[in-house]
Amino acid sequence: MEILLYPAPALRQPSRPVGTPTPEVAETLRQMAAFMREHGGIGLAAPQVGIPLRLLMVNHTGQPADDRAFIDPRVTARRGMEDAEEGCLSFPGIRAVIRRPAWVRVEALSPGGEPVVVEMDGLLARVLQHEIDHLDGILLIDKMSPTERRANVAALRDLEARFTSKA
């Protein structure tokens, strides 16, 4: 696996639903979890590693026992708003204060195909929303205020130049 960096076009593509999970999907999620921990992330969406499926992993502690896999997740309720700093593995070195709902209910499937309903607030709510955005082709840069964009313009241009030089 390799992290796709902004502005890779695949990051902008909405992901396809998985439907009924297969053993291959479960294995992909296991690989994503290991990759996420290896790179110091607390969330990883499949499009970030070039897989156009609605899969994501979250883990706020870095301990394998705290891995949470979500298949075809969707936010079904939200409450409150709060501002907090976010980073993203697809935007290395870039941090921005992003406004998001403070609490969310997310419905999904587990790797075994069982329905999952979680209600989260704080950091985990933020991480889930950030990763679900990735599944919809929405990126950190899309959530930045004009002030945050200006503060990160040099780093964003550097990422764009790195991408262009690789193409």
pLDDT more than 90, % of the chain:
95
Scored b (16 or more CB within 10 A) or e, 11-34 reads beeebeebeebeeebbebbeebbe
What's the pLDDT at 166? 78
- Indicate if the pLDDT at residue 122 is higher than 80: yes
* Domains of the chain, start order: 9-166 (3.90.45.10)
CA dist 84 and 100 (Å) reads: 8
Record the pTM. Answer: 0.95
- Indicate if the pLDDT at residue 155 is higher than 70: yes
| Mean pLDDT over each residue of the chain, to the nearest integer | 96
What's the pLDDT at 62? 87
What's the pLDDT at 163? 85
Out of 86, 119, 131, 148, the active site residue is 131
What's the pLDDT at 161? 93
Local confidence band at 82 (pLDDT 50, 70, 90 cut-offs): very high
Q: Catalytic annotation on 131? A: yes
Average pLDDT, integer, range 133-150 = 97
pLDDT more than 70, % of the chain:
99
CA dist 64 and 33 (Å) reads: 8
Q: Of 41-45, 61-65, 105-109, which range is least confident?
A: 61-65
H-run or E-run covering 148? helix 146-151
Average pLDDT, integer, range 51-70 = 95
What's the pLDDT at 164? 85
What's the pLDDT at 167? 65
